[in-house]
Amino acid sequence: MLASIPSATVLGVRGSPVTVEVFVGDGLPGYHMVGMPDTACRESRDRVRAAISSTGFGWPNRCITVNLAPTTQRKTGAGLDVAIAIGVLVASEQLSGDVVHRHAFIGELGLDGTIRRVPGVAPMVDALDDGAVVVPAGNVVEAQIAARGPVLAAPDLATAVACLSGTRTWDPLDPVDSAGEPPPLPDLSDVRGQPVARRALEIAAAGGHHLLLVGSPGSGKTMLAQRLAGLLPPLDRDQALETTMVHSAAGLRMPPGGLVRQPPFRAPHHTTSVIGLVGGGSHQLRPGEVSLANNGVLFMDELGEFGRAALEGLREPLEEGVIRVARAAIRVTMPARFLLVAATNPCPCGGGPPGACECDDGARLRYLRRLSGPITDRFDLRVVVHRPAVDELLGIDASESSSDVRQRVVAARAVALSRAGKLNAALAPDELDTLAPLSEPARALLREEVESDRLTGRGYHRVRRVARTIADLDGVHDEPISIADIELALQMRAPLRQRSVGPMADRWIA
Ligand SMILES: [Zn+2]
């Protein structure tokens, strides 16, 4: 007899429907699976067989053929186990086909019949029609976010079959508490002093400018970076759904309200593999950190310690806002639009208080050279962070809170989006003259910087974009960019490369 059971699979961050066809017929006893299963999927036979036997059903000692349709598409992971098991039970007439009509099944089976949570349930359920879907109990929240029909959950195969047969009822699910407040993000009011770095965070958030923090250990770079996501506007519905899909595909736990509604903050360690960073993998094409940070912040501490391949992998996301990952014949495109904040020590020894550095010029130069190249060109903002003075640490004045700063950020973003349809960081050089015209004194200052070799051609455009954001934050939208805005933008562009060693060693270019 033939059974046809709907399920779904996920590739990258997209789900697609799969029909599990099971035929149990005469012929030599055996089990054949066709339809491009991957290894984990192929191994389902042993799990399904053990689960069915330990649940008290009989494993049909006949010829079992499992076809995963459409056959042109690769099936990954163990999420089809439950659908295959139900298919075997129906095709061997141990379960009525009528009771599974318009039911889809997603989940991995343990050998004892337990239904285990799998990554990617939100995109998988999103790919299904409005019939009922049975998911693992641990995936209920994300399934409810994406489902068009009823969501059902059971702890194990026996319970699922009993509920389908009507001998017991499905456990009621907790409603998704979409009104629940997500936990607060770290707040800027915790940061004492650091006026320049605080301003840089605000400018970065408002203009979408990538930010590099340069400072010795203990200067507070990480604490500052952690506060950037809280300055971004909360995600709108589409962004929240997109982010939830990516986090589900990566197998992350969903927040209490189901939807990821806050801009994500991801901080991969420099030992993270290239696959971990950009996505991919030999078993499933999973999203990496660049996609998990989509619509939020990617923080790379100790930037110089990341490998060249990892930094190279950032190029496509930074340029196009997506990452394309290929494995064998499969290619997937995943969203990867994030605000990049990176941190680095100023030199190999870490710098420390003024005068403490003992690195020689050669060592400093080699250290900074590791940072140079395509990646450092991406930072519109490069700010030196100093350890706060004792007075600042002990100061009783509370610093401005994230929500106050965020209001200015939201207003400035709205202006930029209505003016150019994009954030200021994305303005092309030829747009700057019309959208960010310079006042005469500002133009003169920039000319001087370029002529004296303190500013490169790229740097010139970056300074103008940042100055546009500074003016937007100040509520100045219709006047040419002032010299004060250019001066501040130049201050936010700490020199990174040494021009030479020896007597000129303290000369830098931006
Ligand atoms: Zn040093």
- From first to last of its 510 residues, the chain has per-residue pLDDT tens of 899 999 999 988 999 999 999 999 988 999 999 998 888 888 899 999 999 999 999 999 999 999 999 988 888 888 999 999 999 999 999 999 999 999 999 999 999 999 999 999 999 999 999 999 999 999 998 999 899 999 999 999 999 999 999 999 999 887 776 666 777 889 998 888 888 999 999 999 999 999 999 888 888 999 999 999 999 999 998 999 999 999 999 989 888 777 888 999 999 999 999 999 999 887 678 899 999 999 999 999 999 888 888 888 998 999 899 999 887 777 889 999 999 999 998 888 877 666 677 888 788 777 777 776 667 778 999 998 888 777 776 666 668 999 999 999 999 999 999 999 999 999 999 999 999 999 999 999 999 999 988 888 888 999 999 999 999 999 998 899 999 999 999 999 877 654 433 333 343 433
pLDDT of residue 399: 80
Q: If you measure from the C-alpha of residue 388 to the centroid of ligand 1, how many angstroms do you get, rounded to a whole number?
A: 19
Q: If you measure from the C-alpha of residue 385 to the centroid of ligand 1, how many angstroms do you get, rounded to a whole number?
A: 15
As to burial, measured by CB atoms within 10 angstroms (0-12 exposed, 13-18 middle, 19+ buried), residue 456 is: middle
Q: If you measure from the C-alpha of residue 217 to the centroid of ligand 1, how many angstroms do you get, rounded to a whole number?
A: 11
Residue 298 pairs with which residues in a beta bridge?
266, 340
The structure tokens listed for 146 are 């994406």
Q: If you measure from the C-alpha of residue 266 to the centroid of ligand 1, how many angstroms do you get, rounded to a whole number?
A: 28
Q: If you measure from the C-alpha of residue 178 to the centroid of ligand 1, how many angstroms do you get, rounded to a whole number?
A: 50
Contact 284, 77 (CB under 8 A): yes
Q: If you measure from the C-alpha of residue 359 to the centroid of ligand 1, how many angstroms do you get, rounded to a whole number?
A: 4
Rg (CA), the chain: 28
Q: If you measure from the C-alpha of residue 314 to the centroid of ligand 1, how many angstroms do you get, rounded to a whole number?
A: 28
pTM of the shown model? 0.89
Q: If you measure from the C-alpha of residue 367 to the centroid of ligand 1, how many angstroms do you get, rounded to a whole number?
A: 10
Q: If you measure from the C-alpha of residue 216 to the centroid of ligand 1, how many angstroms do you get, rounded to a whole number?
A: 9
Q: If you measure from the C-alpha of residue 218 to the centroid of ligand 1, how many angstroms do you get, rounded to a whole number?
A: 14
Q: If you measure from the C-alpha of residue 458 to the centroid of ligand 1, how many angstroms do you get, rounded to a whole number?
A: 28
The structure tokens listed for 169 are 């009822």
Question: Is the N-terminal amide bond of 268 cis, ω within 30° of 0?
Answer: no
The contacts found for 388-393 with CB under 8 angstroms, 24 or more apart, are 388/192, 388/193, 388/194, 388/220, 389/193, 392/192, 392/193, 392/194, 393/192, 393/193
Q: If you measure from the C-alpha of residue 353 to the centroid of ligand 1, how many angstroms do you get, rounded to a whole number?
A: 10
Q: If you measure from the C-alpha of residue 241 to the centroid of ligand 1, how many angstroms do you get, rounded to a whole number?
A: 46
pLDDT of residue 372: 64
Q: If you measure from the C-alpha of residue 461 to the centroid of ligand 1, how many angstroms do you get, rounded to a whole number?
A: 31
Q: If you measure from the C-alpha of residue 354 to the centroid of ligand 1, how many angstroms do you get, rounded to a whole number?
A: 10
Q: If you measure from the C-alpha of residue 350 to the centroid of ligand 1, how many angstroms do you get, rounded to a whole number?
A: 5
Q: If you measure from the C-alpha of residue 360 to the centroid of ligand 1, how many angstroms do you get, rounded to a whole number?
A: 8
pLDDT of residue 396: 60
Residue 509 pairs with which residues in a beta bridge?
497
d(CA 351, CA 132): 61
| CA 492 to mean position of chain CA atoms | 27
pLDDT of residue 509: 38
DSSP string, 224-265: HHHTSGGGSPPP-HHHHHHHHHHHHHTTPPPPTTSS--SPPE
